[in-house]
Amino acid sequence: MHDTSMRPSEIPDLCGIIERYRGKPGSLLGILEEAQEAQENHYLPEGTLRFIADRTSVPLSQVYGTATFYSFFNLKPQGKHSIVVCRGTACHTRGSLALLEESVRFLGLGEFREEEDNSLTTADGFISVRTVACFGQCALAPVIQIDGSIRSSMTAGRLIAMLRKLKKGGKP
Ligand code: FES
């Protein structure tokens, strides 16, 4: 029995996405990725996870486990802009914790508890700060991603300057 309690706005073209992946290897990851991309505020609402489990016959625990295991999946609505700070060893050694702390402080987001928080978003939904385990660009550490664009050898000063620009409506 399919769950009909979900609002259509939460599952934009989800049936089509699921159908495109039917029978393909790694289909769950692909479905989750596309569903998140298609969802307003780029996240995976609980109703969407339930719908995917129902339609793919994958246990909900497995769908939920996959969505929580990979850091690029969001279970909370994301801001219009995004900052992703790499917290891998190379970036950590070259000061990525300070980048994370400075950006969170500048945006007034409180405290980023790395063990618990996947992302923090400003109250006005303007920007989200997230972390990632590694961008695979360790030689260029510390690395961040801002609105999908990778920036290397980052400093706190440059990062804050980019955030200021973003807030003023400019391109970082
Ligand atoms: S540790 Fe940051 S890119 Fe690899």
- Mark whether 152 and 105 lie in a shared domain: yes
Q: In the predicted model, is pLDDT for residue 8 greater than 50?
A: no
- Mark whether 99 and 158 lie in a shared domain: yes
Quickly state the pLDDT bin for 1 (edges 50, 70, 90). very low
Share of the chain above pLDDT 90, in %: 71
Q: Of all atoms in ligand 1, which is nearest to the CA of residue 86?
A: 2
The Cα 143–Cα 85 span in angstroms is 7
Q: In the predicted model, is pLDDT for residue 126 greater than 60?
A: yes
Residue 4: per-residue pLDDT: 46
Residue 6: per-residue pLDDT: 54
**Total domains, the chain:** 2
Quickly state the pLDDT bin for 111 (edges 50, 70, 90). confident
Q: What is the mean pLDDT of the chain?
A: 90
Confirm or reject: Cβ of 31 under 6 Å from ligand 1: no
Q: Is 1 inside any structural domain?
A: no
Residue 28: per-residue pLDDT: 96
**pTM of the entire predicted model:** 0.80
Q: In the predicted model, is pLDDT for residue 104 greater than 70?
A: yes
Mind listing the pLDDT tens digit for each residue in 23-64?
A: 888 899 999 999 999 998 889 999 999 999 999 999 999 999
Distance 151 CA to ligand 1 centre (A): 12
Q: In the predicted model, is pLDDT for residue 129 greater than 90?
A: yes
Q: In the predicted model, is pLDDT for residue 72 greater than 90?
A: no
* Domain edge (last residue) among 17, 36, 69: 69
> Could you count the other beta carbons within 10 Å of the beta carbon of residue 29?
14
Structure-block tokens of residue 147 = 């609105």
Q: Is 74 inside any structural domain?
A: no
The Cα 60–Cα 51 span in angstroms is 9
Q: In the predicted model, is pLDDT for residue 116 greater than 70?
A: yes
Q: Which domain holds residue 159?
A: 81-167
Q: Of all atoms in ligand 1, which is nearest to the CA of residue 135?
A: 3
Structure-block tokens of residue 150 = 């990778």
* Domain edge (last residue) among 40, 69, 98: 69
Burial class of residue 4 in the structure, from the number of CB atoms within 10 Å of its CB (0-12 exposed, 13-18 middle, 19+ buried): exposed
Distance 147 CA to ligand 1 centre (A): 18
Confirm or reject: Cβ of 127 under 6 Å from ligand 1: no
